[in-house]
Amino acid sequence: MRASLFLVGLTTLCTSCNAYDLFSLSGYQQDTFSNRADVLFVIDNSTSMVEESVDLALNFGGFIEDLSARESNTGRNGVGDAVASYISYVDDRAAFVDYQFAITTTDVDKQAGAYSVTVQRGDSDVAETFTNGLLCDATCFTNPQSLGNDPSYLCGEPLSEQEEVTTQYLECVCGSVEAWLDNCGSAKEEALEAVFLAMCRAVENPPEECFDGFEIDGEVFEPAFTEDDVLSNEGLLRDNSTFLPVIVTDEGDDSRREAGQEKIPEAYLELFSRFRQRMAWVVIGPALNEDLSTACPGPATSWGSFRYEYLVYDSNGLKIDITDGDCENTEFRAALDSLGDLLQNLSTTFPLSSVPIKETLQVAIDDKPVERATEEGLDRLGLPVYSDGWTYRADENAVVFHGSAIPSPNADVRVYYLPLDGMPRELPF
Amino acid sequence: MYALLALALHSAPTAQAQDTIDIGVLRNDDIAVVQEMLYPKLDRTEVGVHLGIMPFDAYLVTPNLQFSFNKHMQESLSFSLVAGGGYGLKSATYKELESPTFGAAPYAYRYLGSVLAGVEWGPVYAKMNLDGAHVVHFDVYLAGRVGVTVQDSVIPVNEGSIGIAPTVSPGIGARFWTNDNMTFRLELRDDVAIERRSITDTWHVKQNVNVSAGLTFFSQKAGR
């Protein structure tokens, strides 16, 4: 009798189920990783920026070569090379950043965010097209005498083989002197407005603010964007891409929608969020001292420069001082190398599908748990500095990685959590 | 009809008496009386190795290896020590839940190892005739053990991933003797573990139902 009872009890135990909490899982694996990077160079084409633009042009070819170096190691002959190339692509997508570059200027009155040139990975002459667009349309050459002179130059010789930009080169690639001389922009650099308008031009249904005129500090601004401009930048923002505005300037931002000397560009942060586009800001701009004053003499404002620093911080982007410690122009090759690194490590923010109970968040990369980052202090902007690891950002409902914890593009990133509102759907098990 | 029968009988060979063959003398000690043959366990030590699997969890399937030690204090009662280890693998259901379709992960703990001690009570000893040719000796025992189970969170966790859970383990099993010193042993046991789940900071009862099969080896009979 006792044995029978025991057997009945044992059978009951065996057939009962273990109860488990079901965690929501946001997984980011290779097959969902997007290596698309839409890069918009916003060039300050004021008179003070000629030297920097020329440096950028001279170094851009090498940057593209570096970016494509690993891809070019695979051949292009026949099915075998195609298979090898595909396998390399699947194994290491970081080596295959699907980039496109476009150029606009900080001059909103004249260009209003319209891009002057666009090139994509796979184009046969990416560097040449880009540098020609930069020099011909977005650089403020005011005096031909200040340029190099090389009567022996033959049209078609690439810029990468030249030591300097010469008038002969510009005449070959741009045409007549009128085409490249005096393409100077306003002294009021409005990089943020230019980026906003460029985005307005890129989407089918722009936010209504694109069309609005407005008044700031008693000054009335007519709309710089009309229905005719819709999709004039078509293709600038691709699906599931990261949009990288790269601002190259020696001054701070003076965009029209921010009142006075606002340091944090709240108005533009709100406007950019309307596009629901993942963004990472890159600024090659004025250096700031520890006390947030401008590090080098010049027209740059500290509050305008602070806006850039804030955007870079907020988007896990990249800030490169346009001058070195001696207030000389920075090495643009090194700056572009840093941009290349950023292009290959864009994935720092991983949005979640549901709002989590924060205490239950667990993050793993390649099945290894990652520690929650701790706040280690404040940087010179007064913004938190974190240890290596991850933090949860409630405003984006996303997990953000910091420091050495930033996963490589090939990593299998998984975020586990209990949703605040329970599991969003009934499970069939 | 009768004619055919008479013909058949007439043609049948006649049985012939043959010489007897002497096959020897059967002594008393040559006679093994099955009804009297037993494999005693009293005062013997039994060690064994067993392959097991925990197949009843919806999300984890756990192959494992167990080592057993028994000291038979009585014919029907023994001290039992079982230690083993394994690894809980995600089941097909778990993997399907993890897919983008469902985007879910059960917060389960996988079995890594256990050490259990207790008693086995085997009141049943029986013989079974197999195929009219073999007689199999077997016993059936009930086991009651307590100990600890070491488990690991399937969801990667920074702190508290490994948990040591107090465990009560009832079980039922049977030994099938292959000879005086060796048995084939089957066992079904249910490790009822009290586990703490670190992420949610909650306590749960977890059942690891294990089916195992293995070989055990008895020490020589003492003083026989």
3 state SS of A373:
coil
Contact (CB<8Å) B108/A16: no
Per-residue pLDDT at A9? 55
Cα separation values, B172 from A82, A211, A291, B122, B141, Å: 61, 79, 76, 9, 6
Per-residue pLDDT at A222? 86
Give the DSSP per-residue string, chain B: -HHHHHHHHHHSPPP------------GGG---GGG-----TT-EEEEEEEEEE---SSEEEEEEEEEEEEESSSSEEEEEEEEEE-PEEPHHHHHHHSTTT-EEE--EEEEEEEEEEEEEEEEEEEEEETTTEEEEEEEEEEEEEEEEEEEESS--SSS-EEEEEEEEEEEEEEEEEETTEEEEEEEEEEEEEEEETTTTEEEEEEEEEEEEEEEEEPPPTT-
Element (H, E) at A398: strand A398-402
Judged against a pLDDT cut of 80, whether residue A33 lies above it is answered with no
Contact (CB<8Å) A18/B206: yes
Separation CA A358–CA A394 (nearest Å): 9
Separation CA B154–CA B105 (nearest Å): 9
Instruction: Give residue A378's pLDDT band: very low, low, confident or very high (50, 70, 90).
Output: confident
Contacts of A378 (CB under 8 A, 6+ apart): A384, A385
Instruction: Give residue A101's pLDDT band: very low, low, confident or very high (50, 70, 90).
Output: confident
Residues from chain A that touch B192, judged by Cβ atoms under 8 A, are 13
CA distance B171 to chain A (A): 8
Contacts across the A-B interface (CB distance below 8 Å): 95
Per-residue pLDDT at A25? 85
CB A53 within 8 A of CB A134: yes
Average pLDDT (A296-311) is 87
Element (H, E) at A69: helix A50-72
Per-residue pLDDT at A76? 46
3 state SS of A58:
helix
Residues from chain B that touch A23, judged by Cβ atoms under 8 A, are 104-107, 155
Element (H, E) at A310: helix A302-314
3 state SS of A121:
coil
Q: How many Å from the N-terminal Cα to the C-terminal Cα in chain B?
A: 69
Q: Which tokens sit at B97?
A: 């839940």
Per-residue pLDDT at A28? 60
CA triple A96-A280-A207, angle to 5 deg? 115
Phi-psi region of B51 (alpha: psi -120 to 50; beta: other; left: phi over 0): beta
Per-residue pLDDT at A50? 77
Domain spans of chain B?
Answer: 44-218
Separation CA A343–CA A325 (nearest Å): 26
Judged against a pLDDT cut of 70, whether residue A232 lies above it is answered with yes
For A301-396, list the strands marked E by DSSP: 318-321, 349-351, 362-365, 368-370, 375-378, 384-386, 389-393
Pairing outcome for strands B202-218 and B182-197: antiparallel
CB A264 within 8 A of CB A307: yes
Judged against a pLDDT cut of 80, whether residue A93 lies above it is answered with no
Residues from chain B that touch A22, judged by Cβ atoms under 8 A, are 97, 104-107
Judged against a pLDDT cut of 50, whether residue A88 lies above it is answered with yes
Which residue of chain B comes nearest to A429, CA vs CA?
Answer: B93
- C-alpha closest to that of B75 among B171, B145, B139: B139
Judged against a pLDDT cut of 80, whether residue A152 lies above it is answered with yes
Separation CA B63–CA B212 (nearest Å): 10
Q: Which of A31-45, A400-414, B70-84, B114-128 has the lowest mean pLDDT?
A: A31-45
Per-residue pLDDT at A13? 53
Q: Which of A335-349, A399-413, B100-114 has the lowest mean pLDDT?
A: A335-349
Average pLDDT (A349-368) is 88
3 state SS of A30:
helix
A63-72, A284-293, A382-391, B74-83 — which one is most confidently predicted on average? B74-83
Contacts of A233 (CB under 8 A, 6+ apart): A102, A113, A114, A115, A198, A199, A201, A202
pTM, full prediction: 0.64
Average pLDDT (A41-50) is 84
Judged against a pLDDT cut of 80, whether residue A79 lies above it is answered with no
CA distance B47 to chain A (A): 25
Question: How many other CB atoms sit within 10 Å of the CB of residue A319?
Answer: 19
Q: What is the pLDDT tens value at each position of chain B, 224 positions in all?
A: 455 555 555 555 555 556 777 777 777 776 666 666 788 899 999 999 999 999 999 899 999 999 999 999 999 999 999 999 999 999 999 998 888 778 889 999 999 999 999 999 999 999 988 877 788 999 999 999 999 999 999 999 887 788 899 999 999 999 999 988 999 999 999 999 999 998 888 999 999 999 999 999 999 876 54
Which residues share a beta bridge with B106? Answer: A22
3 state SS of A222:
coil
Q: Which of A30-44, A177-191, B83-97, B194-208 has the lowest mean pLDDT?
A: A30-44
CATH topology of domain B44-218: Porin (2.40.160)
Separation CA A203–CA A243 (nearest Å): 13
Contact (CB<8Å) B106/A21: yes
Residues from chain B that touch A25, judged by Cβ atoms under 8 A, are 98, 103-105
Give the DSSP per-residue string, B56-89: --SSEEEEEEEEEEEEESSSSEEEEEEEEEE-PE
Which residues share a beta bridge with B71? Answer: B45, B79
Per-residue pLDDT at A179? 76
Contacts of B178 (CB under 8 A, 6+ apart): B184
Contact (CB<8Å) B106/A16: no
Instruction: Supply φ then ψ for residue B81, to 5 degrees.
Output: -130, 125
3 state SS of A60:
helix
The structural domains of chain A, ordered by start, are: 35-76+83-140+183-343 (3.40.50.410), 347-429 (no CATH)
Average pLDDT (A289-299) is 82
Of A5, A16, A23, A358, which to mutate for an interface test with B (greatest number of B Cβ within 10 Å)? A23
- Considering chain A, what percentage of its residues have pLDDT values greater than 90? 9
| Mean pLDDT value across chain A | 79
CB B116 within 8 A of CB B85: no
Residues from chain A that touch B168, judged by Cβ atoms under 8 A, are none
Which residue of chain A comes nearest to B194, CA vs CA?
Answer: A18
3 state SS of A9:
helix
Judged against a pLDDT cut of 80, whether residue A387 lies above it is answered with yes
Separation CA A222–CA A213 (nearest Å): 5
Contacts of A26 (CB under 8 A, 6+ apart): A350, A351, A352, A353, A414, A415, B103
CB A134 within 8 A of CB A60: yes
Judged against a pLDDT cut of 90, whether residue A176 lies above it is answered with no
Instruction: Give residue A31's pLDDT band: very low, low, confident or very high (50, 70, 90).
Output: very low
Contact (CB<8Å) A14/B190: yes
Separation CA B217–CA B69 (nearest Å): 10
Which residues share a beta bridge with A386? Answer: A375
Contact (CB<8Å) B102/A368: no
What angle, rounded to 10 degrees, do the helices at A78-91 and A50-72 form? 110
